[in-house]
Copies of this chain bind each other. A is one copy, B any other.
Amino acid sequence: MLGPKVWSSVRRGLSRALSRTMGSWASGEGRKMDISGIYPPVTTPFTATAEVDYGKLEENLHKLGTFPFRGFVVQGSNGEFPFLTSSERLEVVSRVRQAMPKDKLLLAGSGCESTQATVEMTVSMAQVGADAVMVVTPCYYRGRMSSAALIHHYTKVADLSPIPVVLYSVPANTGLDLPVDAVVTLSQHPNIVGIKDSGGDVTRIGLIVHKTRRQDFQVLAGSAGFLLASYAVGAVGGVCALANVLGAQVCQLERLCLTGQWEDAQKLQHRLIEPNTAKVLFENTPVWDCFVPPQQILTSKRSPIGSQT
């Protein structure tokens, strides 16, 4: 069996190095940025007075830096991005960039309701050091978010983004699933490199992998709960809240999947899927996972439920 360092380096190889030096997708040559691997969605700690606790954030990053993650997702749903101002969102990403190991990827959530704001946030995220942006579907006017509207939105963002774009579909929060036909169309954009799919519908994930097989398009599972199954149908990684507290185990699950040790993978997946185990483990930690959407962390003092938990 390969050790964690070995399989990790094998996995990324040359393509990663290339993509980092490429500077921009505009060059158009070669492959899309390789985003395969496991990412914890970094949470945003708050002080007692509801300010962002940057000291605690850096402390968390140092702990997370000890695991063989591919990188970090910052300002995703678990980062409670809807509770931060635009400048706080950027500041958090900037701090993470400084605190995290140089060889990891930083995927920053830059989705807003309007196309214009999303473009602006995307450009700013690149400026503060994000390697790629993860763009959640706009959702307040979900009744109007047809495939055509969503394709229009993401195409505009990807056209103007200096860094690669990862689509982000999280129906438990947004009430809409980015339609498969829209994903397939968008996968042809040279600056759209993949999707984080948090819906948990593995038939859909398999179909996306299959229908985008000629586009160098990568699927990340949005939860540890269906990580093994996603690997089985062709996903290349996962953004798993559970990785915030069980980083070693989630990375081990990745390794078992990548090296074809499916029997052991199944056993580990079962242990990770068990809410009680997680509950015990999480009790004395500042973060916790929720395997079944739409539970998120919401430790923030700014949350409507902040003072109750």
Partner among B173, B175, B226, B273 whose Cβ is within 8 Å of the Cβ of A141: B173
* A17: B residues at CB distance < 8 A: none
Q: Give complex CA distance A174, B182 in Å.
A: 23
Residues of B within 8 A of A24 (CB): none
Quick one: which of A85, A232, A271 has the most chain B CB within 10 A?
A232
Is A262 an interface residue when CB atoms closer than 8 A count as contact? yes
Contacts of A145 in B (CB 8 A): 304-305
A273 to B83, CA, bound (A): 38
Question: A304 near B229 (CB under 8 angstroms)?
Answer: no
Instruction: Evaluate contact between B203 and A234: CB separation under 8 angstroms.
Output: no
Q: Is A59 an interface residue, CB under 8 A from the partner?
A: no
CA distance A207 to B148 in the complex (A): 30
Q: Mask for A119-156, Cβ within 8 A of B = 1, else 0?
A: 00000000000000000001111111110111011000
**Which residue of chain B has its CB nearest to the CB of A119?**
B302
Chain B CB within 8 A of A117 CB: yes
* Interfacial chain B residues near A226, Cβ < 8 Å: 202-203, 206, 229
User: A83: which B residues are within 8 A, CB to CB?
Assistant: 113-114, 116-117
Q: Are A141 and B294 in contact (CB under 8 A)?
A: yes
A298 interface neighbour in B141, B173, B174, B223, Cβ under 8 Å: B141
Across-interface contacts of A293 in B (CB, < 8 A)? 143
Q: Does A63 sit within 8 A of B, measured CB to CB?
A: no
- Given A200-B202, A302-B115, CB of A210 within 8 Å of CB of B273: yes
A115 to B304, CA, bound (A): 5
Query: Residues of B contacting A85 with CB < 8 Å?
Result: 117
Please indicate the chain B residues that have their CB under 8 angstroms from the CB of A153 in the complex: 304
A140 CA to B298 CA in the complex, in Å? Answer: 11
A209 CB-CB contact with B under 8 Å: yes
- Checking B138, B148, B175 against A308 with a beta-carbon cut-off of 8 angstroms, the contacting residue is B148
Tell whether, in the assembled complex, residue A203 and residue B291 are in contact, meaning their CB atoms are under 8 Å apart.
Answer: yes
Q: Which residues of A contact B (CB under 8 A)?
A: 50, 77, 82-83, 85, 113-117, 138-146, 148-150, 152-153, 172-175, 200-203, 206-207, 209-211, 213, 223, 225-226, 228-230, 232-234, 260, 262-263, 265-266, 269-271, 273-274, 291-296, 298, 300-308
- Supply 17 A–B pairs (Cβ within 8 Å), ascending by A: A82-B141, A115-B303, A115-B304, A140-B174, A144-B296, A144-B298, A152-B307, A200-B202, A203-B226, A203-B292, A206-B226, A206-B228, A210-B274, A211-B274, A228-B232, A229-B229, A260-B263
7 new A-B pairs (CB below 8 Å) besides A233-B269, A234-B270? A116-B302, A143-B294, A200-B201, A203-B225, A206-B226, A232-B265, A233-B266
